[in-house]
Amino acid sequence: MTTKKHIISLLSEIADPEIPVITIVELGVVRDIEIITNSSIHLKITPTYSGCPAMKQIEDDVKKKLMENGFTDINIETIYSPAWTTDWITPEAKEKLKAYGIAPPEHTSEDKSWLTGKPKTVQCPQCKSSNTKLISQFGSTACKALYQCQDCLEPFDYFKCI
Amino acid sequence: MDLKTALFNYTLRLGDTNLILGQRLSEWTGHGPFLEEDLALTNIALDITGAAKSFLEYAASVENKGRTEDDLAYFRNDRQFFNVQLTELPNGDYARTIVRQVFMDCFDFYFYQELSKSKDETLAGIAQKSIKEVTYHLRHSSSWVERFGDGTNESHIKAQNALNELWQFTDELFEMNEVDEVLIKEGIAVDLSIVKTKWDQYITELLNKSTLSKPENVFMQTGSRKGVHTEHLGYILAEMQALPRMYPNAKW
């Protein structure tokens, strides 16, 4: 019988379609795995953002990966509760984001400074300066905000806390 | 009215309101006043359309007649849509788009807070998801209302004109009918009078801060709960539905 651990290792080979340096497991979108038989499996995934266009791609990638590994009956269910949060991104994945040039979420979603609009410090992933400025709450994808470093002047994406 | 019919209608109303607003906002894509705003509105449109998909998917499963969310979006006529009229109105200038958006964001912000406590797990889940996104939307639209109102003479006039024109469509947000009645009893739907109090307070404070005046004694439009709309809905549906109606099995 296939183990959950084995399935997780298979799914860990699937990169996020928009941020290819992290896997869908590290991102925290895989919520539950139920192995029914050696060929039948039920998965629960949750979207990062409601309209995230990558969800369909992720579903297709998961199906392809599982089919290549002998599963013929694959049922993927999208769940909304509990809602995805940036807290589910693993610490290793946050380091990978930084190395890729995307500033990882700075605080946990429990931190409400972003709600009150109080500015917070986001470190530039290029030169590590903390002298950075928010350009726009909305960036190149739904999950990111746009910042600019005031020291090296490089604009960069910030993975915002939700 | 039985529970299933009420739940289908309620979910459809939420889906339609998000779908039409998302479609309207997406008209700004590539036409925003500057790049960051273009991206912002496109992102917001995407979140809202995403919420529409979740609600319509659920409506289709509640109805259980083999229709999908796409069937509901593309193969109904205007009289079968239950979105609030505010969402179907043309974008107008940027001040008008932003004033409409702050009305909707503020409504959604308080509405989803209540809906996240619903006894219906799916509705509560979608609300918990959406509230995180709407918080960003509300901050965005509020900051623009403040900038327009307290900005130049021209921006102030445009924001005030938008307020005066759109205010008549705000009452509809809080209308309740038999659908709400049936579902409130079951702890599923939101009592919109709670949302109205909070909405009023937030908008009044925001307008004061923005040196804008709240329109008084306005005749209030109504109709969408019965499927009655302004002339604008037909046109937006024609554009949105043309392709799937011409090629019903199109895939891309």
Interface contact B124, partner A, CB < 8 A: yes
Q: In this structure, what token pair is assigned to residue A152?
A: 């090296």
Please give the pLDDT value at position A49. 85
Q: Which residues of B touch A117 (CB under 8 A)?
A: 139
Cβ atoms B22, B87 nearer than 8 A:
no
DSSP helix/strand/coil, A43: strand
Interface contact B161, partner A, CB < 8 A: no
CATH ID of B3-246, from 1.20.1260.10, 3.40.47.10, 2.70.70.10, 1.10.3720.10: 1.20.1260.10
> pLDDT-based confidence at A161, cuts 50/70/90?
confident
CB contact under 8 A, A50 and B54: yes
CB contact under 8 A, A137 and B135: no
DSSP helix/strand/coil, B67: coil
Q: Is the pLDDT of residue A110 over 70?
A: no
Which residues of chain B carry a pLDDT beneath 70? none
Share of chain A above pLDDT 90, in %: 48
CB count within 10 Å of CB B75 equals 14
CB contact under 8 A, B129 and A80: yes
Nearest Cα of chain B lies from the Cα of A15 at a distance, in angstroms, of 22
Nearest-CA residue of chain B relative to A134?
Answer: B36
Query: Is the pLDDT higher at B181 or at A141?
Result: B181
Interface contact A134, partner B, CB < 8 A: no
CB contact under 8 A, A138 and B44: yes
Interface contact B209, partner A, CB < 8 A: no
Nearest Cα of chain B lies from the Cα of A27 at a distance, in angstroms, of 16
> pLDDT-based confidence at A119, cuts 50/70/90?
low
Q: Which DSSP state fits A31?
A: E
Best of B25, B46, B109, B118 to disrupt the A interface by mutation (most A CBs within 10 Å)? B46
Nearest-CA residue of chain A relative to B40?
Answer: A138
**pLDDT for A4-21, tens place per residue?**
899 999 999 999 988 899
Distance CA A76, CA A96 (A): 27
**pLDDT for A64-89, tens place per residue?**
999 999 999 999 998 888 888 888 88
Q: For B80, how many CA atoms within 13 A lie in the half-sphere containing its CB?
A: 9
Q: Is the pLDDT of residue A118 over 80?
A: no
Phi, psi of A45 (to 5 degrees): -125, 155
Q: Which residues of B touch A53 (CB under 8 A)?
A: 46
Question: Scanning the structure block, which residue is given the tokens 């709600």?
Answer: A115
For B207-221, letters b (16+ CB in 10 Å) and e give beebebeeeeeeeeb
Sequence-distant (6+) residues with CB within 8 A of A97 are: A19, A21, A22, A89, A103, A104, A125, A159
Pick from B39, B46, B140: which is nearest to A51 by CB?
A: B46
- Dump the DSSP string for A67-129: HHTT--EEEEEE--SSPP-GGGS-HHHHHHHHHHTEEPP-S-TT--HHHHT-------TTT--
Under 8 Å CB pairs connecting chains A and B tally to: 78
Report domain A4-78's class.
alpha beta
Interface contact B231, partner A, CB < 8 A: no
Please give the pLDDT value at position B18. 98
CB count within 10 Å of CB A118 equals 8
CB contact under 8 A, A50 and B51: yes
Question: Scanning the structure block, which residue is given the tokens 């990558």?
Answer: A54
Pick from B40, B129, B140: which is nearest to A50 by CB?
A: B129
Please give the pLDDT value at position A142. 79
Sequence-distant (6+) residues with CB within 8 A of B82 are: B9, B12, B13, B16, B17, B224, B225, B227
Nearest-CA residue of chain A relative to B124?
Answer: A81
Report domain extents, chain B: 3-246
**pLDDT for B57-104, tens place per residue?**
999 999 999 999 999 999 999 999 999 999 999 999 999 999 999 999
Q: What's the whole-number mean pLDDT along residues A96-117?
A: 73
Phi, psi of B142 (to 5 degrees): -65, -40
Best of A29, A45, A76, A80 to disrupt the B interface by mutation (most B CBs within 10 Å)? A80
> pLDDT-based confidence at A117, cuts 50/70/90?
low
Please give the pLDDT value at position A136. 86
Lowest mean pLDDT among A22-26, A66-70, A119-123, A137-141: A119-123
DSSP helix/strand/coil, B248: coil
Report domain extents, chain A: 4-78, 91-159
Distance CA B197, CA B176 (A): 15
Question: Scanning the structure block, which residue is given the tokens 């607003």?
Answer: B21
Short-list A114, A4, A49, A62, CA closest to B53? A49
The residues pairing with A75 across neighbouring beta strands, listed in sequence order, are A42
Is it true that the peptide bond before A155 is cis, omega within 30 degrees of 0? no
Please give the pLDDT value at position A108. 61
Dihedral of the CA atoms A119, A51, B82, B97 (nearest 10)? 40
CB contact under 8 A, A49 and B47: yes
